[in-house]
């Protein structure tokens, strides 16, 4: 696993690399602009070159971008749809510029509409963004199961992937908190293995490109997105140890999204080590 966290780009893309190095990250996640504003950050060739120079020779092997939270590809509002496609397209172009392994996206929310109709709208918007770009993967993130949010289970993720197409550029990102909140008991090794079997059968494990590792502040199946720092939530250290030691996750960028610093990075490594030792024992 390439374990790391979400780091700030304040001061430039190359500064994000420095922050990743300081925390001993092997992978980092960044926002390509403010996550709660439409105005894009105007990165250009010099910014991309500075990033690539900073990352070359560092221990960081992977970077992913998280698209802004305002995007709703499933919306029926024409203006919001236009802004969402433009913002996603911009993120994918930044991803290509820095050689990111993908842009992580929350696909959208139905907002009271029929979920299948909303899903079709989301697929259309995402397809447009993919057609306008090249080189950088798009990674659909599973949601916590809240009513109307698209991607709450393997079936919905499979529907998105099948309808969008996108070739090899389309993948998925699994969030441990969201899985737990939507009813997947990842604390149990057999249940986690069964989940991955289901993903392999319906989507293909080759499309699993990234992990978000967050504990959950709400119980199993609560259908609410409430992150907790590692080991302090309902999944707990033992549950996270099973998640982080799953053999089929080897090699994936694994991003901590809650409070992240050197201590949290070291904690994640210790939890993973404990899980690996228990599997070996």
pLDDT for residue 148: 87
3-state SS, the chain, equals: CEEEEECCCCCCHHHHHHHHHHCCCCEEEEECCCCCCCCCCCCCHHHHHHHHHHHCCCCCCEEEEECCCCCCCCCCCHHHHHHHHHHHHHHHHHHHHHCCCEEEECCCECCCCCHHHHHHHHHHHHHHHHHCCCCCCEEEECCCCCCCECCCCHHHHHHHHHHHCCHHHEEEEEEHHHHHHCCCCCCCHHHHHHHHHHHHHHCCHHHEEEEEECEECCCCCCCCCCEECCCCCCCHHHHHHHHHCCHHHCCCEEEECCCCCHHHHHHHHHHHHHHHHHHHC
Using the predicted structure, report yes or no on whether residue 166 has a pLDDT greater than 80.
no
Domain architecture of the chain: domains with CATH? 2-280 (3.20.20.150)
pLDDT for residue 112: 84
CB–CB of 173/212 below 8 Å? yes
> Over the stretch 121-148, which tens digit does the pLDDT of each residue have?
999 999 999 999 999 999 999 999 888 8
Query: Structure pTM?
Result: 0.96
Using the predicted structure, report yes or no on whether residue 106 has a pLDDT greater than 80.
yes
pLDDT for residue 281: 79
Q: pLDDT band for position 149 (50/70/90)?
A: very high
pLDDT for residue 153: 95
Q: Which of 20-24, 112-116, 230-234, 241-245 has the lowest mean pLDDT?
A: 112-116
> Over the stretch 181-232, which tens digit does the pLDDT of each residue have?
999 999 999 999 999 999 999 999 999 999 999 999 999 999 999 999 999 9
Using the predicted structure, report yes or no on whether residue 96 has a pLDDT greater than 90.
yes
> Over the stretch 50-81, which tens digit does the pLDDT of each residue have?
999 999 989 999 999 999 999 999 999 999 99
Using the predicted structure, report yes or no on whether residue 236 has a pLDDT greater than 90.
yes
């Amino acid at each position: 696993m390439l374990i790391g966290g979400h780091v700030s780009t304040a001061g430039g893309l190359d500064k994000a690399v420095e922050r990743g190095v300081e925390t001993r990250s092997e992978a980092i996640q960044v926002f390509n602009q403010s996550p709660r504003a439409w105005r894009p950050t105007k990165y250009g060739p010099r910014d991309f070159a500075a990033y690539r120079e900073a990352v070359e020779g560092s221990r960081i092997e992977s970077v992913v971008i998280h698209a802004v939270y305002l995007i709703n590809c499933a919306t029926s509002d024409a203006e919001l749809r236009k802004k969402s496609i433009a913002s996603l397209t911009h993120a994918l172009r930044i991803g290509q510029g820095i050689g990111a392994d993908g842009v992580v996206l929350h696909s959208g929310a139905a907002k009271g509409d029929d979920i299948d109709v909303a899903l079709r709208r989301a697929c259309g918007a995402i397809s447009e963004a993919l057609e306008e770009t090249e080189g950088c993967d798009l990674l659909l993130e599973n949601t916590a199961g809240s009513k109307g949010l698209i991607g709450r289970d393997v079936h919905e993720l499979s529907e998105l992937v099948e309808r969008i197409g996108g070739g090899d550029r389309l993948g998925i990102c699994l969030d441990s908190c969201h899985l737990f909140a939507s009813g997947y008991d990842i604390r149990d090794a057999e249940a986690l293995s069964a989940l991955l079997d289901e993903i392999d059968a319906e989507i293909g494990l080759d499309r699993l490109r990234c992990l978000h590792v967050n504990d959950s502040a709400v119980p199993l199946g609560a259908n609410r997105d409430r992150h907790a720092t590692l080991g302090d939530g309902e999944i707990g250290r033992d549950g996270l140890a099973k998640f982080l030691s799953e053999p089929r996750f080897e090699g994936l960028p694994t991003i901590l999204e809650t409070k992240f610093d050197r201590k949290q990075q070291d904690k994640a490594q210790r939890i993973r080590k404990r899980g690996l030792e228990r599997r070996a024992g």
